[in-house]
């Protein structure tokens, strides 16, 4: 990837461009309404957390074909000059309505609605799905860790096995929105203001002639909180060395914040190491664990009362290991004033431009969502809010990771208890309003 | 992601930088040898296909901290001026030896060996794993599709549900190396010269008032091979419309290349649609299928004799759905002339700088690999070749997707038949030479 590539309009499927050429040639520039939604939950999910909107807005507002893009398209031989001139002029001029990031959501609910001239709304499909799918998937996975950790610290360690650079960075972002405390990925700090955390690698210990020499050098030279990795050889022996070191450092006013255990029986080791560390002088030394943990591992350690203060979570988060994709789509719901749908088996769509109305129980918990037509509103809190109008951000767009994180925290607190469990719960009630069903029945005979 | 970010040296874990500060302060700049390897195969894999080296070389040869990077690091308060000055000067000056892309490989074999001053070799760990892990995982998954398709066409459709932009682009690359015919992702063509393919979306059909009008408009306006999507409403009825259209177009010298079916019972539909299409005049109209297919679906369709000419493969490829991560690592094997290892339970490493020697049976098939110390070579073809020397590419580096694709094709042809099956085969024999075991025993008492 060269620099321009990360925001290139050529990050799209070829068919978008060939369809566009046909639309332009036919003068099909009428208003189209597309909605992005998830068709069904993976087995291991009771809800989803919407994320990725900020990156989508960046993409849409920056969308343009530069001279190099147009040359590269011309070189394929698939496009005529008239069409390339259209692309040269093309900007996203449409409206976007969306659930703010951090909103808890469910299948068949539109997370994002795009209303724009058909070619623009169609062109953006590929990257729109790419951005919304990934962060929504990761935020939804991360929320499970947050529920499992019950207030203990969670840090994203996943960049190395994240699928590419963008995935690593956006996983740091999505997990922070869901309630992680931060990430090890340095660039997430300047990009998004996310707190960054670091410990040390086994190689640091191995590069020294003795473990205690490595601990001492790191503790004396490090400016931030000192976290010592104790499982390179023998975690309990290393914990005893940490205590000796803490005693020597205490005399100089220095301290050790935590130890990290990255392998072995974390439940047993955290207990034996806790006892050893409690012999150290000064402030309590914390225990941080890592090493291929998923949310069930976190829940087991927390539930068993293992004295673990925090968790480093890597691969299982950044690839959403138990559900590495969501069955989602961006579908045409209306064109040129007429509702549209398809009947492909298992992939039927609900036509019309829609809104989600959320209702709460007396105790403030989520009770029921109603998906209804925008023109026929129902009771409840409308979840989709204006984001872009005529291609420009609205005055008060829902933006920023901190706002999204707060929204997610508040939403998680209002989840019905069964949905907040790691186990599969009965589906949250999402009612499709009768007006939509009527519309779907009407478009039966189109072909 | 802003443009600079995609190649930023801040795409790393915080601990790399804090360890580096310590190394520089202590003058620990001795030569380090790190190796990247996969610890074990996921259940659904008999072998892996090495990929990602070209991107790694780009990263290493371009590595530098610019003024903005250094400012952002200074702002964290974790780093002193002396260290930041070191980073300002830092370049990758080491050696890299690696298996060329497209090489079939197995657990415990080093795919890449980095020999460099300790700070350089350590710093690059995070992005090195990130690049090699993802493409190796995708190429390994893609090879299974190639084996299953037995010569039928395969096209990557996965960008939209790939985890981010870089993943989508690199999945197109890795699957092409493994033998796919191309991708739908436009930018893969200018970036890597990979052939691009496109059909049409359901929304194109839905935006028209009738299916036949959509077919006709597309067929008349499209410059490339015309592929018509026939499952928006009823695939067999649509196939009959395709035949009518083909008759009308034949008079004008135009033709329809294929139809695509994206849902339903693909085996039954491909047979009934085949019969309908055979009534059309002119060259045979092909059948292309897609819709959530994995390699087992492809194998079933091929084995049952379904008249399918090609497959569009999306999510299951781009997220490697049955094995969305590989258990891999980049480990210090030697520092300052001494072999290094760790004993963390389940994560023991094999010390020393190593080479893989591949032996072939009389019929040319792979027979056995031997992992041995570089200084004690064994019989067989050495798989790791020089790539960088002193930070510069060697005169004839193994590079380019076409060379990698040929190598993979030749390697797949030489697989023992059991390994070439989609079912789990007995492990391919990878012998760890006794000299390595002796070395591992020696570093017992380090701490």
Q: What is the DSSP string of B261-329?
A: E-SS-HHHHHHHHHHHHTTSSSSPPEEEE-SS--HHHHHHHHHTT----EEEE-HHHHTTTT----EEE
Is residue B168 within 8 Å of A3, Cβ to Cβ? no
The verdict on a CB contact (< 8 Å) between A233 and B184 is no
Q: What local confidence, expressed as pLDDT, does residue B2 receive? A: 56
Indicate the residue of A13, A23, A342 with minimum beta-carbon distance to B232. Answer: A342
**Is the Cα dihedral A427, A432, A437, A439 positive or negative?**
negative
Average pLDDT over residues B186-191: 95
Average pLDDT over residues B25-38: 97
pLDDT at B229 over 90: yes
Indicate the residue of B34, B129, B342 with minimum beta-carbon distance to A160. Answer: B129
Q: What local confidence, expressed as pLDDT, does residue B350 receive? A: 87
Q: What local confidence, expressed as pLDDT, does residue A1 receive? A: 58
Interface A–B counts its CB contacts (< 8 A) at 376
Tokens 């019929």 belong to B363
Is residue A196 within 8 Å of A186, Cβ to Cβ? yes
Q: What local confidence, expressed as pLDDT, does residue B434 receive? A: 93
Cα–Cα distance measured from residue A195 to residue B33, given in angstroms and rounded to the nearest whole number: 32
Cα–Cα distance measured from residue B42 to residue B19, given in angstroms and rounded to the nearest whole number: 32
Question: Burial letters for B190-208: b for 16+ Cβ neighbours within 10 Å, e otherwise?
Answer: bbbebebbbbbbbbbbbbb
- In chain B, residues with a C-beta closer than 8 Å to the C-beta of A204 are 19, 22, 122
pTM above 0.95, yes or no: yes
Q: What local confidence, expressed as pLDDT, does residue B447 receive? A: 43
Which candidate, B173, B162, B111, B172, places its Cα nearest to that of B331? B111
Which residues are CB-contacts of A310 (< 8 A; sequence separation ≥ 6)?
A: A152, A153, A154, A155, A181, A258, A286, A287, A288, A289
Helices (H), B295-433: 295-303, 315-318, 401-413
pLDDT at B302 over 90: yes
Cβ atoms < 10 Å from Cβ of A355: 23
Q: Which two tokens stand for residue A70?
A: 């147009």
Is residue A97 within 8 Å of A386, Cβ to Cβ? yes
Q: What local confidence, expressed as pLDDT, does residue A165 receive? A: 95
Looking from the CA of A393 toward its CB, the CA atoms found within 13 Å total 14
Which candidate, A285, A200, A283, places its Cα nearest to that of A242? A285
The fraction of chain B above a pLDDT of 70, given in percent, is 96
pLDDT at B398 over 70: no
Cα–Cα distance measured from residue A259 to residue A272, given in angstroms and rounded to the nearest whole number: 13
Residue A442 near chain B (CB below 8 Å): no
pLDDT tens for residues B434-444? 999 888 888 75
The verdict on a CB contact (< 8 Å) between B221 and A22 is yes
Cβ atoms < 10 Å from Cβ of B174: 32
Residue B304 near chain A (CB below 8 Å): no
Is residue B161 within 8 Å of A160, Cβ to Cβ? no
| Cross-strand pairs, A112 | A36, A98
Q: What local confidence, expressed as pLDDT, does residue A2 receive? A: 55
Q: What local confidence, expressed as pLDDT, does residue A445 receive? A: 44
- In chain A, residues with a C-beta closer than 8 Å to the C-beta of B324 are 319-321, 324
Cα–Cα distance measured from residue A132 to residue A149, given in angstroms and rounded to the nearest whole number: 26
Indicate the residue of A73, A200, A221 with minimum beta-carbon distance to B25. Answer: A221
Cα–Cα distance measured from residue A303 to residue A297, given in angstroms and rounded to the nearest whole number: 10
- In chain A, residues with a C-beta closer than 8 Å to the C-beta of B233 are 342-344, 446-447
B121: nearest CA in chain A? A203
Indicate the residue of B25, B187, B210 with minimum beta-carbon distance to A10. Answer: B187
Tokens 């790399």 belong to B16
Q: Which two tokens stand for residue A176?
A: 């922070």
Cα–Cα distance measured from residue A262 to residue A291, given in angstroms and rounded to the nearest whole number: 5
Distance of CA B42 to the CA centre of its chain: 16
The pairing of strands B95-98 and B385-389 is antiparallel
Cα–Cα distance measured from residue A390 to residue A308, given in angstroms and rounded to the nearest whole number: 51
Tokens 């997707």 belong to B401
Residue A114 near chain B (CB below 8 Å): no
| Cross-strand pairs, A48 | A105
Is residue B242 within 8 Å of B219, Cβ to Cβ? no
Question: Burial letters for A35-60: b for 16+ Cβ neighbours within 10 Å, e otherwise?
Answer: bbbbeebbebbbbbbbbbbbbbbebb
The stretches in chain A having pLDDT less than 70 are 1-4, 343-347, 397-398, 444-447
Q: What local confidence, expressed as pLDDT, does residue B446 receive? A: 47
> In which element (H, E) is residue B38 found?
strand B31-40
- In chain B, residues with a C-beta closer than 8 Å to the C-beta of A225 are none
Average pLDDT over residues B239-250: 96
B151-316 under CATH 3.20.20.70, yes or no: yes
Q: What angle do CA A241, A243, A246 make, to 5 degrees?
A: 110
Return residues 53-82 of A near B (CB < 8 Å).
55, 72-73, 75-80
| Cross-strand pairs, A228 | A259
Residue B217 near chain A (CB below 8 Å): yes
Q: Which two tokens stand for residue A310?
A: 């925090």
Return residues 366-425 of B near A (CB < 8 Å).
none
Q: What angle do CA A157, B122, A192 make, to 5 degrees?
A: 40
Distance set, CA B333 to CA A321, B102, B125, B197, B378 (Å):
29, 25, 13, 45, 20
Q: What local confidence, expressed as pLDDT, does residue B153 receive? A: 98
Q: What local confidence, expressed as pLDDT, does residue B341 receive? A: 76
Superfamily of segment(s) A153-318? Aldolase class I (3.20.20.70)
Cα–Cα distance measured from residue A10 to residue B124, given in angstroms and rounded to the nearest whole number: 29
The fraction of chain B above a pLDDT of 90, given in percent, is 89
pLDDT tens for residues B8-17? 999 999 999 9
The verdict on a CB contact (< 8 Å) between A221 and B26 is yes
The ranges assigned to domains in chain A are 3-139+323-445, 153-318
Return residues 171-210 of A near B (CB < 8 Å).
184-187, 189-191, 196-207, 209-210
B124: nearest CA in chain A? A160
pLDDT band of B345, cuts 50, 70, 90: low
Q: What local confidence, expressed as pLDDT, does residue A345 receive? A: 67
pLDDT at B378 over 90: yes
Q: What local confidence, expressed as pLDDT, does residue A280 receive? A: 93
pLDDT tens for residues B58-101? 999 999 999 999 999 999 999 999 999 999 999 999 999 999 99
What is the CATH code of the structural domain delimited by B3-139+323-445?
Answer: 3.20.140.10
Which residues are CB-contacts of B67 (< 8 A; sequence separation ≥ 6)?
A: none
């Amino acid at each position: 990837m060269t620099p321009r590539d990360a925001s290139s309009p050529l990050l799209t499927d070829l068919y978008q461009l060939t369809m566009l050429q046909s639309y332009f040639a036919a003068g099909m520039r009428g208003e189209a309404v597309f909605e992005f939604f998830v068709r069904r939950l993976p087995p291991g999910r009771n809800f989803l957390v919407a994320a990725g909107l900020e990156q989508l807005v960046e993409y849409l507002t920056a969308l343009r074909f530069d001279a190099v893009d147009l040359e590269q398209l011309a070189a394929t031989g698939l496009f005529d000059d008239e069409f390339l001139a259209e692309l040269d002029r093309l900007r996203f001029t449409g409206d976007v309505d969306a659930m703010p990031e951090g909103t808890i959501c469910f299948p068949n609910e539109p997370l994002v609605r795009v209303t724009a001239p058909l070619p623009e709304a169609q062109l953006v499909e590929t990257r729109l799905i790419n951005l919304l799918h990934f962060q929504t998937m990761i935020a939804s996975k991360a929320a499970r860790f947050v529920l499992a950790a019950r207030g203990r610290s969670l840090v994203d360690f996943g960049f190395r096995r994240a699928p590419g650079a963008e995935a690593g960075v956006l996983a740091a972002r999505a997990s922070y929105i869901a309630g992680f405390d931060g990430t090890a990925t340095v660039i997430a700090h300047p990009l998004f203001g996310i707190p960054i955390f670091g410990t040390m690698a086994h190689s640091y210990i191995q590069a020294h002639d003795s473990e205690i020499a490595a601990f001492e050098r790191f503790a004396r030279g490090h400016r931030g909180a000192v976290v010592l990795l104790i499982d390179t050889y023998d975690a309990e022996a290393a914990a005893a060395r940490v205590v000796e070191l803490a005693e020597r450092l205490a005399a100089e006013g220095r301290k050790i914040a935590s130890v990290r255990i990255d392998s072995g029986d974390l439940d047993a080791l955290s207990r034996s190491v806790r006892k050893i560390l409690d012999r150290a002088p000064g402030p309590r030394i914390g225990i941080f664990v890592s090493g291929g943990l998923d949310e069930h591992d976190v829940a087991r350690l927390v539930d068993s009362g293992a004295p673990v203060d925090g968790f480093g979570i890597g691969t299982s988060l950044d690839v959403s290991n138990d559900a590495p994709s969501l069955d989602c789509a961006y579908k045409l719901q209306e064109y040129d004033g007429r509702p549209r749908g398809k009947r492909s088996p298992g992939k039927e769509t609900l036509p019309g431009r829609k809104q989600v109305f959320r209702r709460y129980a007396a105790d403030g918990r989520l009770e029921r969502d109603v998906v209804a037509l925008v023109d026929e509103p129902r009771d409840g809190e409308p979840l989709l809010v204006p984001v872009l109008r005529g291609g420009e951000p609205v005055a008060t767009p829902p933006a920023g990771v901190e706002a999204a994180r707060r929204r997610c925290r508040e939403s998680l607190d209002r989840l019905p208890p069964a949905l907040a469990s790691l186990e599969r719960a009965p589906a949250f009630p999402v009612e499709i309003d009768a007006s939509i069903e009527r519309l779907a029945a009407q478009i039966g005979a189109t072909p």
